[in-house]
Amino acid sequence: MPPNANTSVLRNRIATKINDGDLVNSDTATQSSLRSLKALKGTEVVIDGVIYDIAEFVHPGGEVIKFFGGNDVTVQYKMIHPYHTGKHLEKMMMVGKVVDYEPEYKFDTPFEREIKSEVFKIVRRGREFGTPGYFFRAFFYIALFFFMQYTFATSTTFFNYDRWYKSGLFTAVVFGVAQAFIGLNVQHDANHGAASKRPWINDLLGFGTDLIGSNKWNWMAQHWTHHAYTNHSEKDPDSFSAEPMFAFNDYPIGHPQRKWWHKFQGGYFLFMLGFYWLSTVFNPQVMDLRQRGAQFVGIQMENDYIVKRRKYAMALRASYIFLNIYSPFVNNGLSWATFGIIMLMGISESLTLSLLFSLSHNFIHSDRDPTSEYKKTGESICWFKSQVETSSTYGGAISGYLTGGLNFQVEHHLFPRMSSAWYPYIAPKVREICAKHGVKYAYYPWIWENLFSTFSYMHKVGTGCNWELKPLSGRA
């Protein structure tokens, strides 16, 4: 979703020369209107500069389409509908156009056409959803989660136990990892609409986000925006969500977002990731469902779909706090020791989730400015190419079973609505086509290699050494 120019001065993809509500055509019942993006209604979306009213549109993927009401969804639409042509848009009611539409990304390039053609020979249309193996894995992790949730919420043996596996330390670590497995293996595919062709299954499994202390709708707002604009320093919420604590973006020396303590972020990076759970569970954004990262880049979150779901989001969060913070204190005593067990659970979840996520786009030689050519020449860049060069893949199928396929980040970003179960099968072909087209594909055979590259990247970004002059080399 491109941003609303009036929401953020950093973004201005849609320019307009007319006032809100001004209509160039007098008869709006029979003719399209020209409008600015900020004049969109909560039941309208923009695709390729054309405004569509989706109030009465029956979407095959379910009501989730209304989540994006009031926004430009050009990139999101194209990235999750790889089979669609312009004829599919004729099913929706066109009501107007946005003036002076200038996209940063382009689609239907030779690279995109070939990679889709070859991958779709491996995964036929209609089969891209969860396999029996995926659901076996998903339900195993779901069963593990609920068993550990019951154990953690009802245990009275954090400190007084007769078997080591009843101790608070063991229970906290296993429960934390079990929650992370839900985030990696269940909710992620589901909230991408990739688990099943049946919308209600995706919707149901998507609530796994709330079961582990986050929120489904806030996650979708940030994550789908991240997918659309991966590593875009001004439009990808993931690229700046950790600021000012540490910086993922490699800002130039003297940039206001660069802080003195970032010089040490290679050392404290892992430590700070351990607090991800704490910042998520007590994030007040669950009350209004206005995800601040997405809102900062101009995403509108005031449509009826979102407003109606605020009460459910708060109820789910209250339930999580009751089960995993209030109950342990009641059952094991209000003490620093009990607090420590709760924090150990949160840290275990945090490190399992956030460390794996941080590898995906932050590594040596990752493309940190995918739209640089657009900024120089005004020429749109291939979205599919940018997804490859901003992402990395490590390991193979076994890593995929543990991470929900998120070790195949290149494949995931090319085909976000394909179940993670298919990524090991398409990865060799994706690498082959990238090599043919000269697209840089980052692959690490082992996770520790990706980890080393990520920590090296964070250190170099923090110190700004990538911007230092190298007079003896003849390069800057």
CA dihedral over 244, 245, 250, 251, signed as positive or negative: positive
- Confidence label for 472 from pLDDT (cuts 50, 70 and 90): low
At 334-355, the pLDDT tens digits run: 999 999 999 999 999 999 998 8
Tell me the pLDDT of the chain averaged across its residues: 86
DSSP 284: G
The tokens of 310 are what? 């605020």
CATH 3.10.120.10 fits 1-103, yes or no: yes
Radius of gyration over alpha carbons of the chain, in Å? 23
Q: What is the bridge-based pairing of β-strands 392-394 and 381-382?
A: unpaired
- Confidence label for 36 from pLDDT (cuts 50, 70 and 90): low
Helical H segments across 26-157, by residue range: 74-80, 86-89, 110-122, 132-154
Q: What is the bridge-based pairing of β-strands 442-444 and 392-394?
A: parallel
Q: What is the pLDDT of residue 84?
A: 78
pTM above 0.75, yes or no: yes
- Confidence label for 42 from pLDDT (cuts 50, 70 and 90): confident
Measure CA 407 to chain center: 14
Residues 6+ apart with CB under 8 A from 419: 128, 129, 130, 131, 134, 189, 194, 195, 405
Q: Which residue has the tokens 């990520």?
A: 454
Angle between helices 132-154 and 168-185 (to 10 degrees): 150
Q: What is the bridge-based pairing of β-strands 71-72 and 33-35?
A: unpaired
Q: If 0-12 CB within 10 Å is exposed, 13-18 middle and 19+ buried, where does residue 418 land?
A: buried
Is residue 206 over pLDDT 60?
yes
DSSP 324: I
Decide if 210 contacts 320 (C-beta within 8 A): yes
The tokens of 248 are what? 């993922």
DSSP 91: T
CA dihedral over 415, 420, 423, 425, signed as positive or negative: negative
Find the helix or strand (DSSP H, E) in which 413 lies: helix 409-414
As annotated, the residues of the chain forming the CATH 3.10.120.10 domain(s) are 1-103
Decide if 464 contacts 253 (C-beta within 8 A): yes
Q: What is the bridge-based pairing of β-strands 381-382 and 442-444?
A: unpaired
Is residue 4 over pLDDT 80?
no
Q: What is the pLDDT of residue 12?
A: 32
Compare 245 and 56 and report the one with higher pLDDT.
245
Q: Which residue has the tokens 């030689």?
A: 365
Q: What is the pLDDT of residue 100?
A: 65
The tokens of 253 are what? 């020396």
Q: Which residues of 133-142 are buried (b: 16+ CB within 10 A; e: fewer)?
A: ebbebbeebb
> DSSP E strands: which ranges in 193-340?
none
